[in-house]
Amino acid sequence: MSRIRKAVITAAGRGTRMYPATAVIQKEMLPLMDLDGVCKPTIQLIIEEALQSGIEEICLVVNPNNREQIEGYFQHLAKVSEEQVKSKPWMKEQAERIQQISDCLTYVVQETQDGYGHAVYQAKEWVGNDPFLLMLGDHVYTSYMDIRCAMQLLELYDKEGCALSAVQQTPASLIYLFGTVCGKKINDVPPVYEIENMIEKPSLEQANTTLRQPELPADTYLCFFGLHILGPSVFQHLQHNIENNIREKGEFQFTAAQEQIRASGERYLAVELNGIRHDTGAPYGYVETQIALGSRSVYKERLAEDMTHYLEVARM
């Protein structure tokens, strides 16, 4: 069984939910204050999640419009002059970190907006015959453990050696936003399920009919977390769908290829990680992400006092 060394991060979306800010800055470059109190582009937090979980190489799937901005950030910021950092050693430390990140990155371009499955497929040649970690370019994670969410998934792969998707219990009112799964529960800590069905952004009727999970409340479902570990076989299914123009809602869906993996007989597990996902690609999710990071950051004590006042004002 191969150890996971590679990660693919899809960052090719247009960021329409964050317009008009994304008319001038790519959504992956929108800043967030990290746990260490340093302000970084969102994509850097996601890359660091992978690298600090043991990943060594990363492929960023970008679009023709945002490649220059993302690649330029990692290339140019690493070249901070000695004069600039002479009195600010923390800047030099950050510049060196960005250089280390830059050395790990490869870029591939999704030329047309043909769906998430199409975006992932662009990394086929780079991935080769290796298993890989797949991440979203607008999902940031906070872990309730000492180890990161991505590492939790990687450690389960070391034990199981099969396709894995992280999931999160999600209210019925939000399942239209996520791929949703159900299956036979085979472990309690962490909760692990042998996937038996999955649907991309199901309707409530579909979910209630075919995706109910007996262990969960009636209004709760298992929805994708935005972290997956897959073998190279996923690209065979994606290629089949693309070559035969098999689309759903006008796009090549990644969930379709995931379901084909499961239906082909490959073992495919879902696991509830000890943490939470935050969607930075939507206004409310962006605010939620910063609050979640801030509440665990070096400024958490100060924020605890200030947020009490802010929330009181918000309720007025």
Let me know if residue 107 belongs to a domain.
yes
Q: What is the pLDDT of residue 92?
A: 80
Count of beta carbons in the 10 Å neighbourhood of residue 176: 12
Structural domain for 84, as ranges: 6-314
First to last CA, the chain: 57
Mean pLDDT by 10 residues, the chain (316 residues): 89 86 89 93 96 97 91 75 71 86 95 94 97 95 94 96 96 92 95 95 93 93 96 96 92 94 95 95 92 88 74 65
Let me know if residue 244 belongs to a domain.
yes
Residue type at 11 in one-letter notation: A
Q: Which of 135, 133, 111, 115 is nearest to 28 (CA)?
A: 135
**Residue 34 tokens, joined:** 């990290």
Residue whose token pair is 């996923």: 234
CA atoms within 13 A on the CB side of 245: 1
Let me know if residue 124 belongs to a domain.
yes
**Cα-based distances in Å from 293 to 33, 138, 234:** 7, 15, 33
Residue whose token pair is 């975006």: 119
Q: What is the pLDDT of residue 81?
A: 64
234 CB contacts (<8 Å, ≥6 apart)?
120, 163, 257, 258, 261
Q: Give this prediction's pTM.
A: 0.92
300 CB contacts (<8 Å, ≥6 apart)?
294
Let me know if residue 1 belongs to a domain.
no
What is the CATH classification number for the domain harbouring 142? 3.90.550.10
Let me know if residue 149 belongs to a domain.
yes
Cα gap 286→138, rounded to integer Å: 9
In our burial notation (b when 16+ CB lie closer than 10 A, e otherwise), range 221-242 reads bbbbbbbbbbbebbbebbeebb
Domain total of the chain: 1
Cα gap 11→70, rounded to integer Å: 10
125 CB contacts (<8 Å, ≥6 apart)?
none
Cα gap 35→294, rounded to integer Å: 7
Let me know if residue 177 belongs to a domain.
yes
CA atoms within 13 A on the CB side of 18: 24
φ and ψ of 162, to 5 deg: -140, 175
Let me know if residue 90 belongs to a domain.
yes
Let me know if residue 241 belongs to a domain.
yes
Q: What is the pLDDT of residue 78?
A: 55
